[in-house]
Amino acid sequence: MDMINRIKNCKPQFALSMGLFLILMGIQSVIMATTELSLIPKVIITLIPILPLFWAFAIYRRYYLRQDEYMRGRIGEAFMWILGTLCFVSYTYGMLMYKFDVPAVNPAFILPIVFGCHGLVVELLVKRDSHEE
């Protein structure tokens, strides 16, 4: 099987994991809204949508390992950009927190932002390399 087919095989699995995540989020919301739970079941139900995210991460890791050396380099560079931006933004936010009343930010948004922006940065880096000089 060539590289392109090996990479294509990861995409349906990734979509399935995201679909499962959304389904579990829906189930979690319904249960939380309709059922009175004790502490431990409540924690379990709250965190259960994280499971497909672990699966998605494993799929993405496999996808990364199936890339060629050039794409691995761009993916790594994209993560460096995202991690650097995230660190600077969070540090700036923390510094502002010392002196000002800043609006609260839910850390649950970090993961989708990181992965969404990461894909975008990879595309931009590849476009940069293919740009006519």
Partner 1 sequence: MKNKIKVLRAEQDWSQETLAKRLGVSRQAINALERGKHSPSLQLAFDIAHVFNVDITDVFIPEVSELPVTED
Residue 21 Cβ, how far from partner 1 at the closest point, in Å? 28
Q: Kindly state the DSSP code that residue 67 receives in the 8-state scheme.
A: S
- In our burial notation (b when 16+ CB lie closer than 10 A, e otherwise), range 45-79 reads beeebeebbebbeebbeebeebeeeebeebbeebe
Rounded to whole angstroms, the Cα distance separating 37 from 42 reads 6
Q: Kindly state the DSSP code that residue 102 receives in the 8-state scheme.
A: P
Residues within the interface to partner 1 (CB under 8 A): 2-4, 67-71, 73, 126, 129-130, 133
Sign of CA dihedral 34, 37, 41, 46: positive
Give whichever of 12 and 73 is closer to partner 1, judged by the CB atom. Answer: 73
Residue 18 Cβ, how far from partner 1 at the closest point, in Å? 24
Residue 133 Cβ, how far from partner 1 at the closest point, in Å? 8
Give whichever of 37 and 120 is closer to partner 1, judged by the CB atom. Answer: 120
Residue 119 Cβ, how far from partner 1 at the closest point, in Å? 14
Give whichever of 30 and 129 is closer to partner 1, judged by the CB atom. Answer: 129
Give whichever of 106 and 130 is closer to partner 1, judged by the CB atom. Answer: 130
